[in-house]
Structure 1
C-alpha cells in the first residue's frame, strides 16, 4: 500500500468514525470474495423515521438492527436458526459464510403495526437503549420481553463474540466501527440493491452515491487493516 493510499484509507476511516459519533450513516462494502455487497450503516441510537425511509428508498434491502454478542447474551437473544423446529431450518448452508447472524424479528410493544417508518425507528432506538443497558448489567431477558414482542418488523442480528476475529460480515464490521467510535453496541444495516438489475448495487455506484450524499465509504479490508 502506497503512502498516498494509506493516507486516503486513514482519512476515510477517521471520517467514518466521526460520522458515527455524530449519528450519521456510512457505507461499507464487505469483501469481493464474500457477499460483495455495500450496506448503509447507521448508529442505532440516532435512527429517525426519515432514516428508515432512506434505507428502504435508497438502499432497498432488509433493515436490520445488529447488537453485540454481550448485549444479545444478556438479553437471551438466540440465533434464529437454532430455534426453528422445521425441516427448512436443517442444513442451512450459505455460499458466503458458515452461518447466519439472524436473531429474533421484533417490534417495540408501543408500536402499532410495527412496519411504518415511525414504528421501525422507535423499535430501533429502543433496541439501542436496551443493548446499552444490557452490557451494563442493567437489562435482562425479562426486561426485553416486557419491551418487545416477536415476531415483528425489525430483524435483530447477533454479532460474533470476537467481532472481526470470528466473522467478517456487515454485522461485525458495523459493530466493530461502533465500538471503535465509542457509541454503543448497536447499529442498523441495510443492503444497497440495484433498481435495474435487482442485484446488489455495484461498488462503483455505491461509491458515487456516498460521494453525492457526503457519506464516508469504507471497504472491509480497510476496516480490518485500520483496526489491526
Structure 2
C-alpha cells in the first residue's frame, strides 16, 4: 500500500470514529507505544447503558472512568485527587509514562443504591454527561456523592496540546463529534497474559465487533488540522 493510501485509510478511520461517537457508539483508541501502550474502549458518556457497562467490564476489564473537560470540572470544583490526599502515599507520585495522574473524585449519583451495579454505574455515568452539558445549572454536591464507584478524570485545559492520554484523546474525539465533554474510558486487558491487550489483538476485537480502532497519533493529527 502506498503512503497516500495509508494516509487515506488513517483519515477514514478517524472519520469513522467521529461518526460512531455521534451515534453514541464506542471506539477503541491506542494511545502510543512510548506512553501507556494501551488501548481503551471509549464511549460518549451520555450513551452508556447497563449493557455498555457490562461490555466494558467483560470485554475491556480495566477501570471504568468518566473523563470530564477541564471547564466542566472547574465548574464543579473537582480537584485532582492527588492534591487532596493528606497521606504519604500521595507524595513523590512518579509515573513512568506521564507527569501527573488525571484522577479526580470517585462518585455515585445520589439516586443509586450501592453504586456498583451495571444499572447504578450507567445511571451515574449518564447523569455526569447530562451535567456536563450545562454545568452552570448543576449543583454537583446535591446530585452526586463521594466516595463512589465511578472514577472521574479531569482533562487538561488545552486537551491534546497539553497531554495525550486517553482522557484527552477521548475528550478530543467528543469535541470533534460535537457531543458533551464527558466520555467513558476503560483499558483493554488480556486474560491470558494478565497484561494490557496488544494493539493487534485490540484491533482484531474492534474489527470483529464493528468498532472503529484508531491510533492516538491519528486523532492528534486530525485535531491539529482544524
Q: Please, what TM-score do these two structures have when normalized by structure 1?
A: 0.97
SS at match of 2:140: helix
Which residue number in structure 1 is paired with residue 106 of structure 2?
105
Which residue number in structure 2 is paired with residue 16 of structure 1?
17
Shift in Å at residue 227 of structure 1? 1.4
SS at match of 2:62: coil
Aligned equivalent of 1:146, options 142, 161, 173: 142
Which residue number in structure 1 is paired with residue 212 of structure 2?
216
Report whether the alignment pairs 1:43 with 2:44. Answer: yes
Report whether the alignment pairs 1:226 with 2:222. Answer: yes
Query: Distance in 2 between the 1:15 and 1:161 partners?
Result: 26
Report whether the alignment pairs 1:69 with 2:70. Answer: yes
Q: Deviations over 1:52-90 (max 9, x none)?
A: 000000000000000000000000000000000001101
Q: Deviations over 1:105-141 (max 9, x none)?
A: 000001000000000000000000111111xx323xx
SS at match of 2:21: helix
SS at match of 2:134: helix
Shift in Å at residue 197 of structure 1? 1.1
Which residue number in structure 2 is paired with residue 56 of structure 1?
57
SS at match of 2:113: coil
Query: Distance in 1 between the 2:222 and 2:166 partners?
Result: 16
Query: Distance in 1 between the 2:133 and 2:194 partners?
Result: 36
Query: Distance in 1 between the 2:220 and 2:67 partners?
Result: 18
Q: Deviations over 1:145-187 (max 9, x none)?
A: 0000000000000000000000000000000010011011100
Query: Distance in 2 between the 1:12 and 1:189 partners?
Result: 19
Which residue number in structure 2 is paired with residue 184 of structure 1?
180
Q: Alpha carbon RMSD of aligned pairs, Å?
A: 0.8
Query: Distance in 2 between the 1:224 and 1:23 partners?
Result: 21
SS at match of 1:85: coil
Query: Distance in 2 between the 1:74 and 1:34 partners?
Result: 30
SS at match of 2:131: helix
Query: Distance in 2 between the 1:225 and 1:146 partners?
Result: 40
Query: Distance in 2 between the 1:62 and 1:222 partners?
Result: 24
Q: Where do 5+ consecutive residues of structure 2 fail to align?
A: none
Shift in Å at residue 2 of structure 1? 1.3
Equivalent positions of 1:122-133 (< 5 A) are 122-133=123-134
